[in-house]
Every structure is written in structure tokens, then in C-alpha cells.
Structure 1
């Protein structure tokens, strides 16, 4: 065990405790955490910076708002209902369009209005929120799948996670839906994570359930060397989130819409460490570099250019990356 821990440290691999103490707690003032923990507030603060997000159709906070639900969901192209303070993709309802007497979910299953109201009431009660606090439900535009990832995705919409330290993007990962994840790009539910080269935007390596894989489990298509469109735009969007949140360590989740291009899905003040497994590289060395460079005043564009020079650390041996600890609490 001692030799394993020593080898992990030598390869820059960080654990949950180190992430929390050295980065999350040290760089994220508690008074600003609500800016990313509440997705409704996130939409409001990023808009002035020109960061696009899915259009908000309505907000349900109580029984009075629930009466407007038919109005909020009157969109034949579908919609998404999500808890404003949810995590790990819990409670999210993705509706593709109407069916006779109900609606069709992204998984292909059917949902009726009563079931939808029941799930929204669960959201309001805090069933899916951080800390179990009362919450609100957001109804918003359903992102239309950009088929650039069609061969390596099962239903649903993939997203891109970028970890940003003091405004400098340091690690990237493409998250892909699977049949097991019910069409959601969520690693905790069985989604696939692909490491992305920060300089080029191309996928490199992949994992599912913290195990290395080479092909998508449903499509059997190779996962390596797939180009992420709009990569520079995505990095710039991620870098800009530093100014608007005033948080020094965040995960920026971006989706690609076939008509609207990159859109910010959500921000996370406690991004998980499985991204190390997907990239087969420890975060430590790059984080140390970014911590030192991030104290200097730079524009978001300058920080993106700098980020591309930080991804020169060689991948570690697969055996040197441990599976993520089960107590992980981030999305």
C-alpha cells in the first residue's frame, strides 16, 4: 500500500482530501459558492459576460407556479426539467417531445403530467439538492444533439468538462451517454469519460466505472482521436467563468447544440477527480503550475493560450491511477 501511494504521488495523482483542502477550500470563498450551486443564479451571472446557456422557459418554486407548468412545457421540440441545486444529474427530466397522452423521455420511455408534477414536487422538497434544502425546478431549452459525437454516444447529449484553476483551464474530459446511464452524460450512472488534449481538443483515452476502455460500450466505435468542435471557444468560455464566479477552482460543463454551438450547462465548485483516470494523468503537476501562474493578471484569451502550454506532462502508467473513492460528492 505504501509503495502504491508513493507511486501515485510521484505521478501527480491527487485524492479527495487533497482536492478539498488544497484547492476547493483554499480557492473557493464560501460566500460565492451559491453562484455555482444554484443553476438559476448561474444563468443570471454569466449572461453579462456573453456566456450562452440553454434558454430558461420557466421556474417553479411553489404550488402557484405549478399551475403554469402546462405553459412552461408547451414546446414541441422538448424541454428539460432540473432541480436548481441538484448534483450528479439526479432528478433531471429530459423530454424529447409529445406522445399521445404524455411525453417521450430521452430514454425512450413515456411520462405523463401527473408523474412529471410528482417529480417536480420532489425537487421542491429538496430530494435532489445539495444538503437536502428546499429547492426550485427549472424548465429550459432541450439541447439538440450535435451528431459530431454520434458514433460514440448512445442517445442523450454528451458534454465537456473543463477544470479551471485561477482562470486557467488545466484538464478536459468529454462525457458520453450510454444505455446504462439512461442516455445521460453522467459518470456516476455508467457514462463514459474521455480525456481531451487541452492543446488540440482531441480525445485521447477513456474510462467507464473507473476502468479503462477503448471503444464505446454500446456503439463499439473507437473513442480515441475524436475532434471536439469549437474547442478554443469552449476553453475561452471556461476561462471567463473565473471572473463571473470569483471562484478559483471550478468544473465548467459545456454542451454542443447543433444549431446554437457551445452552451454552458452548469458550473461545479467541487469537480470530481475521475478526470485523472480518463486522462491517465495526475492533476497535481499541472495544478501546481497553474496555481503559480494564476496570480498574474491576464485576460481570458491570454489564459487560454497559456493553458495549451501546460499539457506537456506525460501520461502515467495505467496501474498508477486508482479508482475514485466512493465518497465522492460532486457531479
Structure 2
């Protein structure tokens, strides 16, 4: 056991205690957490900053506003309802179409307006929120995944997580829904994590239940060697989220819409560590490289723009071996 731990340390693999003590607590000031824990605050701030996000249609914070809230959605045939302070995908309701007086969900169920009201009431009561506190509900544009994911994803919307240290993107992962995850891009529910080369945006091997895999279990297609379109667009959004929030250690979750391109979905001040398995690389070693670079800049009295930060990381953290199919 000790030998394995030492081997991981030599590879710069970050453990949860290191993440919490050396990065989350050190770089993330507690009073800034609401900017990422509250999705509505995040979205409103991103819109003001010019960061591309799924369009916000409406929001509601009290039961007496639910009827007016629903009427404001009459012009939309499809949308997504989210708890503002939800976590892990709980409480998200995806409506794909209207059928007479019914709402059709992504899973094909038909819901009545009373069903939607009940869901909204539960959301406002805090059923899906962090800590069970009173919450708000928001409705936004329903993302349609780019066709590039057609062969390597099962239903749902794949997303990309980029870990950012003080504005430097240090590691990226594509999360692909599976049948087991019920179309959700959540690794804990059975989605696949696929490493992404920072320099090119080409996918690497994947991880499923902490095991390295080469093929998607539902489509049987290889997950490596896929070129993600507009990769620099993803990197620019991720790098800019440091200025957006002031939080130094972030997980930036993004999606690729077939019409709108890269969009920032949400932010996480305590991102998980499975991304290291997907990339076969250690977060600790990459963060240490960035920290030494920042110390050198500070000693010289210099700072870097987001584009310079991206270039630095793409030069230093490019994958050594890209898939042959790339």
C-alpha cells in the first residue's frame, strides 16, 4: 500500500486531502462560494461579462409566482428546469416538446401542468438544493449536442470539464452519458470520463467506474481520437472564469451546442479528481508547474492575459501520445 502511494506521489497524482488543503482552501475564499454554488448567480454574472451560456428564459423564487412563471414559458416548446442550488444533476427536468396540454420529457414521459407545478414547488422548498435550503428555479435554453458526439454518447448532453488554477487551464475531460447514467454526464451515476489533450482538443482514453476503457459501453465505438470543434473557444471561456469569480481553483463545465458552439454550463469550487484517471496524468504535478510559473511572474512584477495563460498550458501540458486515429 505504501509503495503504491509513493508511486502515485511520484507521478504527481493529487489526493482529496491535497486538493482540499493546498488548493480549495488556499485559493478559494469562502465568501465567493455563492458565485458558483448558485447557478442563477453564476449565469447572471456570466451574461454581464459576455461569457456565452445557455439563454436564461425565466426564474421563480416563490410559490405564488409559479403560475406567472409557467405562462412565461408558453412561447417555448423545449427547455430545461433547474434548481439554482442543485448538485449532481438532481432536480433537473428536461422538456423536449409539447403535446396538447402535456409536456414531454427527455425520457418520453408526458407530464401535466400540475406535475410541473409540483416539481417546481419541491424545487423551491429546497428538496434538491445543497443543504436543503430554500431555493429558486430557473428555466433555460435546451442544449442540442453537436453531431460530433453521435457515435460516442448515449442520449443526454455530453459536457467538458476543465480544471483551472488561477486562470490557467491545467486539465480537461469530456464526460459522456451512458445507458447506466440515464443520459446524464455524471461519473458517479455511470457516465464515462474521457481525457482531452489541452493543445489540440483531441480525446484520449476513457475511464468508467475508475477503470480505463477504450470504447463506449453502449455504442462500442472508440472514445479516443475525436477532435472537439472550436477547442480554443472552450479554453478561452474556462480561462476567463477566473476573472469572472475570483476563485483560484475551479472546475468549469461546458457544453457544445450544434448551433451556438461552446457554452459555459456551471462552475464547481470543489471539482472531483477522476479527471486524472481519464488523462493518465497527475493534477498535482501540473498545478505545481503553474505555481512556479506564477511565482516567477510575480517576482518580475508581471501578469498574463487569458490568451497567454492558455498558450502556456497548451505548451507545457500537451499529451505525449495522441491516438493514432487522430
**Same topology, TM > 0.5:** yes
Instruction: Give the Cα separation in 2 of the matches to 1:266 and 1:6.
Output: 35
Relative to the length of structure 1, the TM-score reads 0.91
Structure 2 residue aligned with 1:306: 312
Q: What is the match of residue 162 of structure 1?
A: 162
Deviations 1:105-134 (A, max 9, x none): 222333332222222222212222122211
* Residue deviations 1:76-105 (CA, integer Å, cap 9, x gap): 441001111111111111111113442222
- C-alpha displacement of 1:294: 3.5
Mapped to 1, the partners of 2:69 and 2:234 lie a distance apart of 33
Unpaired runs of 5+ residues, structure 2, are 298-302, 322-326
Partners of 1:115 and 1:208 lie apart in 2 by 34
- Measured in 2, the distance between the counterparts of 1:66 and 1:41 equals 20
Q: Please say if 1:204 is aligned against 2:204.
A: yes
Cα deviation, residue 263, structure 1: 0.8
1:217 aligns with 217
1:313 Cα deviation from its structure 2 partner: 7.2
CA distance in structure 1 between the partners assigned to 2:233 and 2:241 by the alignment: 13
Instruction: List 4+ stretches of structure 1 deviating above 6 A.
Output: none
Residue 309 of structure 1 aligns to a residue whose secondary structure is: helix
Match of 2:71 in 1: 71
- Residue 121 of structure 2 is matched in structure 1 by 121
User: Does the Cα contact within 8 Å between 1:107 and 1:155 map onto a contact in 2?
Assistant: no
In the other structure, the counterpart of 1:108 is 108
Q: Is the 8 A contact 2:154 2:177 kept in 1?
A: yes
1:142 aligns to 2:142 (yes or no): yes
Give 3-state SS (helix, strand or coil) of 1:185's partner.
coil
Per-residue CA shift, 1:151-190, capped at 9, x if unaligned?
A: 1111111111000001000000001111111111111211
Q: Taking structure 2 as the reference length, what is the TM-score of the superposition? A: 0.92
Give yes or no for contact 1:27–1:248 (8 Å, CA) kept in 2. Answer: yes
In structure 2, the residue matched to 1:243 is 243
> Could you say what the CA RMSD is over the residues aligned between the two structures, in angstroms?
1.6
Tell me the SS of whatever aligns to 1:41. Answer: helix
Match status 1:265 vs 2:271: no
| Count of residue pairs brought into register by the alignment | 315
State how far apart, in whole Å, the 1-side matches of 2:211 and 2:85 are.
Answer: 29
Whether contact under 8 Å (2:197, 2:319) holds in the other structure is: no
Q: Deviations over 1:134-162 (max 9, x none)?
A: 11111111011211111111111111100
Q: Is the 8 A contact 1:125 1:133 kept in 2?
A: yes
Change (3 A) 1:79 1:289: same
> Is 2:93 aligned against 1:93?
yes
Query: C-alpha distance in 2, partners of 1:73/1:220?
Result: 39
2:173 is matched with 173
SS in structure 1 of the partner of residue 290 of structure 2: helix
**Matched residue, 2:27:** 27
CA contact (8 A) 2:199 2:318 kept: no
Task: String of CA shifts for 1:50-80, please: whole Å, max 9, x gaps.
Answer: 2111111111111122112322332544100
Residues 181, 311 of structure 1: alpha-carbon distance in 2 compared, 3 angstrom cutoff: same
> Contact 1:181/1:191 (CA < 8 Å) preserved in 2?
yes
Do 2:59 and 2:69's aligned partners in 1 also have CA atoms closer than 8 Å? no
